[in-house]
Structure 1
Amino acid sequence: MKRFLAIALGILTAIGGFVDIGDIVANAEAGARFGIAHAWVLLVGVIGICAYAEMAGRVTAVSGRPVFDLVRERLGPRVALANLAGSLLVTVLTLGAEIGGVGLALQLATSVDYLLWVPVVAFVLWAALWRAKFSVLENIFGLTGLVLIVFVIAFFRLPADYSSLWQQASHPGPPTGEDWGTYWFFAVALFASALTPYEVFFFSSGAVEERWSSKDLLTSRINVFVGFPLGGLLAFALMLTSATVFHPLSMSVDTLSQVAMPAAIALGKLGLAAAILGFFAATFGAAMETGLSTGYTVAQYFGWTWGKLRRPRNAARFHTVVMIGILAGVGVLMTTIDPIQLTEYTLVFSAVALPLTYLPILVVANDRGYLGNRVNGRLANTLGVIYLLIVFAAAIAAIPLMLTTRMGGG
């Protein structure tokens, strides 16, 4: 059981990164509009986040310090400040979207408007991050998020046209009625969602919370190579079930209730209940990740005491930043912007900010002063450079695609 719980950090990080509120709807919408023609994007994203998360976990396990802390020391305060500014903006906006996403899941369960749930969710989130232990949070919400496996089960219960699905996956591109610009907009958004900056900051800082050392390198790799592919599988299941149910009918998907329909069609009320529980756990887990990540990055940049290992009064500035991040997220939601639309915007901003996050990680992972003989090998550096090129391409393309396609609206 201890070995199983040892991968809870990877599961929580991966589920929060791959199936937060924006990804839940984005994958379902991509499935409805394009079938599984974006399946390759999820595969590319899983390999990329595994490559860089492995570096981040190894850096932390060997040095005993989180990646962002080393980035500031290795590359200087100016580069780290640019990294902090870009990632913090994306993280706070994502935090607001996740709080709204929890509200949407509760609205789906209770029929009470999500905006009425937002203050309640924000208070419960703050209380959990203030009082609960890190291990309790990761075990409860990381493992409960696995309920989304219901969409994998649902797919095998649905009448699927396997030859059509294979054609979509093996010959990617826009179907009739869609254009290449919109296709590539969704590709960039889905890729950015797989490599959202807060994922590596949370994973690295969580490793410090778990007191990883060089003896835990195997645990780190198990977290990475089990947790992130599992998150990718759940995201693909959402795309796959949507492609099976909605794509043949040329229907679009833009609400959480529509995303849950394939599970309800395949498994009835039990499937719907499992889908709602999975949505709640995934979005609340993502809200915890983003909330903690705001505190982690700011505290590490300024050299403050931080973390759940310490009592709140001994890391007061860290917890204050977390609270301010939650309040800022609520403030964004109080403009009545739709949480799903908000996350779609954050995915674009995330794509633009990706180079600021991943280039410094590659530099630090090759520094023998921190890692000794545990620096990147040839394979890690090859993947790192290839993905840096992809990241830069996504960053350059994100804004033009957003404008020309009107956020994927065509």
Structure 2
Amino acid sequence: MTSTERALRPTRPGRVAFGRLLGPAFVAAIAYVDPGNVAANLTAGARYGYLLLWVLVVANAMAVLVQYLSAKLSVVTGSTLPEVLRERLGRRARLAYWGQAELVAAATDLAEVIGGAVALKLLFGTPLLVGGVVVGAVSLGLLALQSRNGVRRFEFAVVALLAVIVVGFVTGVLFAPPDAGAAAAGLVPRFQGAETVLLAASMLGATVMPHAIYLHSAIARDHHGPVAAAERPRVLRATRVDVAAALVVAGLVNISMLLLAASALRGVDGTDTLEGAHAAVVANVGVGVGLLFAIGLLASGLASTSVGAYAGAVIMQGLLRTHVPLVVRRVVTLIPALLCLGLGVDPTRALVVSQVVLSFGIPFAIVPLVRLTGSRALMGADANGRTVSVLAVLAVVAVVTLNVALIVLTITD
């Protein structure tokens, strides 16, 4: 039995305790607190204070809906999103779709390895290239854990890292409390010039990451196993709780980053880079908070790069029915990040470019997801209702529009 087959083994049939139905969304939520999010949120808060706080609230609400639909698709059909798409695409279309999905997964992985390498440099002075190798080695260990023991222990390991991320980034707000009135005003949607539109596009567009959509459908399928029709309402109810709880946690982390930057880093130069933001945190909030920040960034890089590599395997297996061991994939996808670090490419610039590449893949994941989950032929009685369909379409329009804006503004900048 291959490692993937072990990971995809169904759980024991019968009624499972409600608490044991929870977990998959917390793994997918790692994508919402990766180093790219850290850079965008800190930059927004440091430059514009609380102005774009509303963007994070909207982004989180959209993410709840999208991630729930991803998990619902697999619970109802017993297949992942890539597998469902494979059945509906011809060979050429399937190969083209796989190509863009793999490119997006690789771009995501690039940002996450670089973010982890920067964290090691902040903590220990480790050269970036060496840090990238260390991040890759640790992520290999996490993926080996998944291969040997299936999805459950991998979930536990990733959730543990998520807890470290929460402590690392939320603690700072306690030492630099935000202005409650100004924060409340930041919940009112508005912009102040083209630069704020660009930041909002990167914050919102890069939040709904395509690899997280593909991966969540796989983890939910692997976690629950075959779901009998009688049990489906209960599993879907648990899925809603799981997604809401996981993304409330992720949203809390992202909002805490922006609040910390708005209250302590407003107007401070150099906060548009991870290293500059860390230096500003140390100077303005304290060494202890700076240490927690760096630890949170390291946990973010380690967890998100492992999840990204896992997502790439899910995409390949689902679309092409081709199995490549996760460890082999990890080694191959690590090469672009190490090349960037070895050649001295500016880490922050690499993060920005990776987010633009990521933006191209979002419509390819979210549009089919909304169409498939709204199909009664596929989903039966569990197809999206009118209200959910309207909200899903609005989310698609908002995400795609802002990602187009992100691409255009980046190219013409």
- What is the Cα-based RMSD across aligned positions, in Å? 2.6
Partner of 2:361: 353
1:285-325 deviations in Å (ceiling 9; x for gaps)? 110111111111112111235xxxxxxxxxx4565444322
Q: Are 1:11 and 1:143, in contact at CA under 8 Å, matched by a contact in 2?
A: no
Corresponding residue number in structure 2 for 1:387? 395
**Residues in 1 aligned to 2:403 and 2:96: alpha-carbon distance in whole angstroms:** 15
1:99-139 deviation digits (Å, cap 9, x = unpaired): 12111111111112222221232233224313443322321
Moved more, 255-264 or 77-86: 255-264
Change (3 A) 1:263 1:329: closer
- Name the counterpart of 1:177: none
Contact 1:296/1:318 (<8 A) preserved: no
Counterpart amino acid of residue 71 in structure 1: L
Q: Is the 8 A contact 1:242 1:262 kept in 2?
A: no
Find 1:137's aligned residue among 154, 157, 162. Answer: 154
Aligned amino acid, residue 249 of structure 2: L
2:180 counterpart (125, 145, 162): 162
Aligned residue runs from structure 1 range 185-196, under 5 A? 185-196=198-209
Whether the 8 Å contact between 1:355 and 1:395 is mirrored in structure 2 is no
Q: Which position in structure 2 is the counterpart of 1:292?
A: 310
Aligned partners of 1:195 and 1:33: how far apart in 2?
23
Deviation at 1:332, TM superposition (A): 4.0
**CA distance change for structure 1 residues 94 and 338 in 2, over 3 Å: closer, same or farther?**
farther
1:229 is aligned to 248
| Candidates 10, 13, 16, aligned match of 2:28 | 13
Return the letter of the residue paired with 1:286: S
- Aligned match of 1:97: 111
The two structures have a TM-score, normalised by structure 1, of 0.85
Return the match for 2:410 from 372, 385, 402.
Answer: 402
Counterpart amino acid of residue 196 in structure 2: Y
| Equivalent in 101, 125, 140 of residue 139 of structure 2 | 125
SS at match of 2:272: coil
> Once structures 1 and 2 are overlaid, which stretch shifts more, 150-159 or 370-379?
150-159
Give the one of 178, 201, 221 matched to 1:208.
221
- Go from structure 1 to structure 2 and tell me whether the alpha carbon gap of 1:98 and 1:40 turns closer, same or farther (over 3 Å shift): same
**Do the aligned partners of residues 93 and 277 (structure 1) sit closer, same or farther apart at CA in structure 2, a change above 3 Å counting?**
same
Indicate which of 152, 164, 186 corresponds to 1:147: 164
Match of 1:344 among 345, 352, 358: 352
Matched, 1:275 2:293: yes
Question: What is the number of residues matched between the two proteins?
Answer: 387
Residues 250 and 105 from structure 1, CA distance in 2 versus in 1: closer, same or farther, beyond 3 angstroms? closer
Q: In structure 1, the residue corresponding to 2:307 is in which secondary structure?
A: helix
- Distance 1:12-1:258 versus aligned 2 partners, 3 A rule: farther
| Aligned mates of 1:246, 1:117 — CA distance in 2 | 27
| Residue type at the aligned position of 1:13 | A
**Is 1:374 the counterpart of 2:382 in the alignment?**
yes
Deviations 1:201-227 (A, max 9, x none): 111111122134335222321221111
Q: Note closer, same or farther for the CA distance 1:208–1:332 as it changes in structure 2 (3 Å cut).
A: farther
Match of 1:172 among 190, 200, 208: 190
Partners of 2:90 and 2:50 in 1: CA distance: 43
**Alignment partner of 1:324 is 2:332:** yes
Q: Distance in 2 between matches of 1:93 and 1:61?
A: 29
- Structure 2 counterpart of 1:398, one-letter code: L
Inter-partner Cα distance in structure 2 for 1:115 and 1:25? 20
Give the share of equivalent positions with the same residue, in percent. Answer: 21
Q: Please state whether the residue corresponding to 1:376 is helix, strand or coil.
A: coil
Q: Which moved more, 1:360-369 or 1:259-268?
A: 259-268
CA contact (8 A) 2:50 2:182 kept: no
Does the 8 Å CA contact 2:309/2:326 hold for their aligned counterparts?
A: no
Q: So what's the TM-score if we normalise by structure 2?
A: 0.85
Where in structure 1 are there 5+ consecutive unaligned residues?
175-179, 306-315, 406-410
Query: 1:57 and 1:207, CA in 2 relative to 1: closer, same or farther beyond 3 A?
Result: same
Mean Cα deviation higher: 31-40 or 276-285: 276-285
Superimposed CA distance per residue, residues 65-86 of structure 1 (whole angstroms, 9 cap, x where no aligned partner): 1011101213444444443222
* Maintained 8 Å contact 1:260/1:275: yes
Q: 1:9 and 1:102 mapped to 2: Cα distance? A: 23
Q: Whole-Å Cα distance in 1 between the matches of residues 194 and 240 of structure 2?
A: 37
Question: Structure 2 regions of 5+ residues with no counterpart?
Answer: 1-16
Q: Is contact 1:126-1:326 (8 Å) kept?
A: no
1:194 is paired with a residue of what secondary structure?
coil
Counterpart amino acid of residue 68 in structure 2 = E
Distance 1:319 1:103, change over 3 A: closer
Are positions 1:183 and 2:191 aligned together? no
Which residue in 2 is equivalent to 1:218?
237
- One-letter amino acid of the counterpart of residue 298, structure 2: F
1:245 to 2:261 alignment: no
Which residue identity lines up with residue 134 of structure 2 in the other structure? V
Tell me the CA shift for residue 239 of structure 1: 0.7
8 Å CA contact 2:54, 2:189 repeated in 1: no
2:11 corresponds in structure 1 to: none
Equivalent residue in structure 2 for 1:70, among 72, 84, 95: 84
Structure 1 residues 263 and 131: CA distance shift in structure 2, 3 A: same
Question: 1:46 touches 1:228 (CA, 8 Å); kept in 2?
Answer: yes
1:256-271 to 2 correspondences below 5 Å: 256-260=274-278, 268-271=286-289
